[in-house]
Amino acid sequence: MSNEKGERVEFEDTLEQAQQRAMDSYREWPRMGFEEFMELSPVPEDTHKQGPGVKRYMSRQPAWMAGNELPWDALFQNLKGPRPRHSGLGVFGGCVYAQAPLAAARAIEEEERQQAAETGVVKPVPGIHSIQGIFTIPGLGDRPFVYDVTNIVSARSFFGRQVNVRQPKQPSSNPTGPFPDSDAELPLNDVCFSCITTFKRPAEGADDVQSSMSAQKRYADILSQRAPDEWEPAPQSDIDIITSLFKDYKGHGAFPMLDMYKVDMTDYNDDKDVPDRRQLMLYRPLKPIPKEDVNGHIVCHAFEADRNGLIMLGNHMGYGFNMGMAASLSYSFYVHTNPEDAVMDAEGWWIQEINWPRVSANRCMMESKIWSPEGKHVASAYQDGMLVPARGPMEVKESKL
């Protein structure tokens, strides 16, 4: 929730009554697995005419929006004055960040199948090695994303593709999804996201070196306190003002693809400066993902690593009740292993270890390490974004008028 003017939120009844009313409206939301949520439709070349070598894909499902399933209507039913804005301008950026490299992967996989059919030689599938993306304008949830994939390099074992992403200028004829194929023919707006994705074929390495202290070992005392799914589900929007308003309203909402839980690191972080604090997130697939779809598994890790990161830093910085803006500018994700090491089964819990080493000039940096259930350091993420406090803190008047 943000309020640039620092205006007071005032209820006709008590805040406790409003919160109870919100709790009474609790509902379970349907959640999509990977294959349904990340479905991409190839757009025929005679439809898009983007020039030779460009492959176009269109998403089929609306992107998820953080906090969209919280019972705001029930909470604000007896609110005096205008409603404060309680969400960002666009959808969760992790949706397009994951789907853009998936479009690049699908293009390469199609090329590999064609080559295998022509030569009779089947080679190991190239796995995503890195994703380097920039966000330009907020994405909208009532229309699809359109992905244009162009070739940068195709060598024997290394590949690079650029993906530019745009959306139609008008909403879909079916804005709640699935989006019809005809949406691909609509005029498109400016680029909202662009990334370069590189791929590597699996290789045998001479050495395999990582820190001797995996996240599982380093935080064993904390992790042993409860089972992974007994921690709090990752808040739909992890900003202090929102989590305090919905303090008893726990759940994933409609968050797709993954089950995610937030480890309570309060005691660990209590005596540490912000750059030395850590946050652990535990996750695994909501529904099984085909084991052979290694790139599908990798983009799920990238999707997870983007969740709530910068706004959690806002809480550590003291902006949790006066958040002005938190937005990703650039985001890089690197896979350090062969792609099969990123494959998730339905049982093992993966760990995202997060820290925030730098805040300056209204910008911030977040680092993440992705650890497999066996303690292997599989991937890392580096994100730079905007983090700006509002002009004044949000106030909530709790007394009955």
| Within-domain flag for 319 | yes
The domain that contains 34 carries what CATH number? 2.40.160.210
Pairwise CA distance, residues 145 & 147, whole Å: 6
| Within-domain flag for 268 | yes
pLDDT at position 4, please? 40
Q: Which helix (H) or strand (E) holds 158?
A: strand 158-166
Return the structure tokens found at 56.
């176009």
Higher-scoring residue by pLDDT: 164, 321: 164
Return the structure tokens found at 100.
């853009």
Q: According to the 3-state scheme, what is the secondary structure of 327-374?
A: EEEEEEEEECCCHHHHCCCCCCCEEEEEEEEEEECCEEEEEEEEECCC
pLDDT digits (tens, 9 = 90+) for 36-61: 999 999 998 876 566 667 999 999 99
pLDDT at position 49, please? 65
pLDDT at position 393, please? 55
| Within-domain flag for 20 | yes
Confidence band for 5, pLDDT divided at 50, 70 and 90? very low
The total number of structural domains in the chain stands at: 1
Place of tokens 């929730």: 1
Pairwise CA distance, residues 241 & 86, whole Å: 10
| Within-domain flag for 15 | yes
Return the structure tokens found at 325.
């803006």
| Within-domain flag for 397 | no
Return the structure tokens found at 376.
């292997």
pLDDT digits (tens, 9 = 90+) for 90-133: 899 999 999 999 999 999 999 999 999 999 999 999 999 999 99
Helix (H, G, I), strand (E, B) or coil at 148: strand
Return the structure tokens found at 113.
């199948």
- When mean pLDDT is compared across 12-16, 137-141, 370-374, 383-387, the lowest value belongs to 12-16
Q: According to the 3-state scheme, what is the secondary structure of 77-130?
A: CCEECCCCECCCCCCCHHHHHHHHHHHHHHHHHHHHHHHHHHHCCCCCCCEEEE
Tell me what the mean pLDDT of segment 19-27 comes to.
85
Return the structure tokens found at 132.
């380097």
**Residue 190 lies in domain:** 10-203+212-389
pLDDT at position 400, please? 32
Select from 303, 294, 377 the least CA-distant residue to 127. 294
How many angstroms separate the Cα of 50 from the Cα of each of 45, 53, 147, 344?
A: 8, 8, 11, 36
Q: Which helix (H) or strand (E) holds 314?
A: helix 309-316
| Within-domain flag for 274 | yes
| Within-domain flag for 395 | no
Q: What is the rounded average pLDDT for all residues in the chain? A: 90
